[in-house]
Every structure is written in C-alpha cells, then in structure tokens.
Amino acid sequence: MAYINFKEEIYKAEIQLDKRMQNNTKLFNYIKERKNLSSKYNPDEVYSYKEFNSKIFGGGHSRLEEEFIEIIDLDIVCTKFINCKFSNIKFKNCRFIGCYFIECSFFGAGVTFEGCSFVKEESSTPPNLNKEDNLSCNFTLCEIYSKFYSCNLSYVIFDSCNINNTNFELSYMRSMIIINTDLKMIKIKDTDLSGIKIVNTYIEDFEFDDKDKSKLDEKAFIDKIKLRYKTRDEYEGIYQVYENIADKFKENNLGNNFGEYYFLCRKTQRKALKPIPRLISLFGYLTCGYGERPSYTLIFSFVMILIFSILYLIFGIIVDEKLIRYTSLQGIEFRQFLKDFNESLNLSVGAFASVGVNEATPAPMSYFINNIEMILGLILNGIGIGSLVKKIVR
C-alpha cells in the first residue's frame, strides 16, 4: 500500500492554496487602504501601493550578470505588476510585501534576486504576539528566467507559470506552492524546501547541486508528472527527476517518501529500456513493486497458484491412483469439475509453498510444471519476505 495518498495530498494542497490566496487578498487590501505597516518597513514611494501595466524594467540588450542594473534596499509594498517585463536587473536586499506579478516576463539575460524577501511573516496588527500574517507574493502566468540567491520565498505562490533555467540557492522555500506550472532546467542548492507543494506541474531537468544539504520534510509533496509526449527521451528525463527527488528524501531520512518516488522512478524507467531489460524490470514490478509494494507479491503469488492449478488439470494429476486430465470441458459436470479443481489447487498450493502434497500428485507429464512452480515459489517467498522486512525496518 502506498505511503503517499496523491489524491488526498492534492486535495489538501488546493485547500491550502485557496486559504492562502484569500489571506493574501485580505491583507493586501487592508494594508493598501490603511498604509498600516510597522516601523521596520519603509515603503518606497516610487514602487509601493501602485499598479504598473505593460512597463519595462531594465530591458535593452542582454548583459553579463555583473553588468546588471542594481536596485538595492527597497521595500516594495502591495504593488501589482501586470504584463510587465524585467530584464538585466539585480534586486539586492529588497523586500517585496504582498506584491502580485501577473503575466510578467523575466526575460533576456534574466533577473537576479539576492538577499530578497517575498513574504511578511510577522503581523502588523495589534495584538501581534505569537501571530503571523504570512503575507506572500503571487506569480501568475509569468515567464521566469531568474536566479534566487539567499532569498526568503516562503509561502510564495507560483500559479500557471513557466520557470526555465532558474536557480534557487541558499534560500528559504518553506510552504511554497507551485501549481499548474512548467519547471525546466531547475537547479536547487542548499535550500530549505520544508512543506513545499508542487501540484499538477510538468518537471524536466530538475537537480540538486548541494554542497551542504537541501531540506525536505514529511509535509513536502511533489505530484506525479503527467507525460506529454511519451517518447523515450521524455521517459528518461522524468525518471531522472524522480530519482533526484527520491535521493533527496532519502538524504533527509524520509524513507517512506523515498520509497514512493523510487517506485515512480523505476516504473517510468522501465518504459525507456530495451526489450530484455524491460522484461526483467516488469518482473520486478509485478512481483514486489521494485521492493516497495509487498502486497504485489501476494497478488502475483495468488495468480501463479491459480494458473498452475489449471495447468495441472490440463497436463494431469493423480488422485487415488486415478489419472485426472482435462482435454475439453464437454460432458463434464460442474460439481465434478469443482472437486477436481480443488485437488489441483491443493497440489499447487503445496508445491508453491514447498510443503509437499496431500491427496493429489502430479502425473508424469506434470513433473516439469511442478518443478517450475516450486522454484517460482521459493523465489517469490524470498522476494516477499525481503520486501516486507525492508518496509518494517524502514
């Protein structure tokens, strides 16, 4: 049985997203109307409490990162950027509070955010002891080519965006929600991803480049990736994404989460293999779910026992020194068939479990089948016990 209920996790993430958007809207309107912020903030007069439509910030020909225009130490509060373009800009130590980026494009040479914050966690409304607003920024329908270095992106929402060739380094991405988005060529380095939710998102070329360790916890959830092209290249790319995610959960000592994404990894990888390795992989999938589904062993064993029971009736069994062999079902009474099938089933169970026979014995033509079943039984018993023990230990 799966440890991650994907349908339930998606449902909870959607509820969380709805509550967060309501919270952001409520606080955005409250702060913009009353200009009520604590003294620790200094809203910039040029950019705060405004709405920019189709404005270009930066622009020009693509430049080297060290030549970017720098915007430093600004507090940009409750601003909407609609259909705006950002390029060749470096935001340094800026705070974006309750900002909306709608249909914006971070293009050209890209945009760098260094030491920036996109969330106001503390409450500005008394009493504020032990209270948090968690007012975050929203990116909707945006094209993003950026670098986030030492930023606080906690609680940020990326909805229906295209995030391409973007790095997240030494940043906080706790409880971030990424939904209905495309992620391509994403590199994460030493970043806190606790509680992150990635839902209905197509991911390709997603890797961790840690010197220390990126953090994941049990609340972190990454949805299954829906295939688009069903080509070998796509299968290889997606199974590598699952593999990187699984390894990172394992590094964070989250064995159950590791097992689920490892299972998805191997399941996707099978479709990119050549025929013989694919058959071997299929056997691993059917017999134990690559070691992550002990229940598969039980189901597969039950099916094997039924199949061999039928084969015994076809090739013959001996009961009370009488040969029973079915070459056709014509003229056979149903009651007699059930009696004979019960004997063959008893023989099959005994052979599969290697406990011997009771009344029925295999006819000479059935010896080969009997031997194959005993060998399969030994193998599957070992696989099932090994998978179950691994799950229990984990």
pLDDT of 37 over the 90 cut = no
Q: Cβ(244)–Cβ(265) under 8 Å?
A: no
Q: In terms of DSSP H, where are the helices of the chain?
A: 6-34, 232-251, 255-270, 275-288, 294-315, 334-353, 367-393
The angle subtended at Cα 35 by Cα 34 and Cα 40, nearest 5°, is 140
What pLDDT does residue 357 have? 64
Place of tokens 């607003």: 133
Contact partners, residue 319, CB within 8 Å, separation at least 6: 340, 343, 359, 360, 361
pLDDT digits (tens, 9 = 90+) for 288-341: 999 999 999 999 999 999 999 999 999 999 998 899 999 887 778 889 899 999
Mean pLDDT of 183-207: 98
Q: Cβ(257)–Cβ(215) under 8 Å?
A: no
Mean pLDDT of 101-119: 96
pLDDT digits (tens, 9 = 90+) for 121-143: 988 777 877 888 999 999 999 99
Which of the residue ranges 225-239, 347-361, 374-388 has the most confident prediction, judged by mean pLDDT? 225-239
What pLDDT does residue 1 have? 44
The angle subtended at Cα 49 by Cα 46 and Cα 52, nearest 5°, is 70
Of the candidates 364, 306, 310, the residue with the CA atom closest to the CA atom of residue 337: 310
The residue among 82 and 129 whose pLDDT is bigger is 82
In sequence order, what DSSP letters do the residues of 237-278 get, joined into one string?
HHHHHHHHHHHHHHHTT-HHHHHHHHHHHHHHHHTTS-HHHH
The reported pTM is 0.91
Q: Cβ(44)–Cβ(16) under 8 Å?
A: no
* Spatial distance between the Cα atoms of 288 and 296, rounded to a whole number of angstroms: 5
pLDDT of 247 over the 90 cut = yes
Structural domains in the chain plus CATH codes:
6-223 (2.160.20), 294-393 (no CATH)
Q: Cβ(333)–Cβ(368) under 8 Å?
A: no
Q: What's the alpha-carbon Rg for the chain, to the nearest Å?
A: 30
Of the candidates 110, 107, 114, 75, the residue with the CA atom closest to the CA atom of residue 91: 114
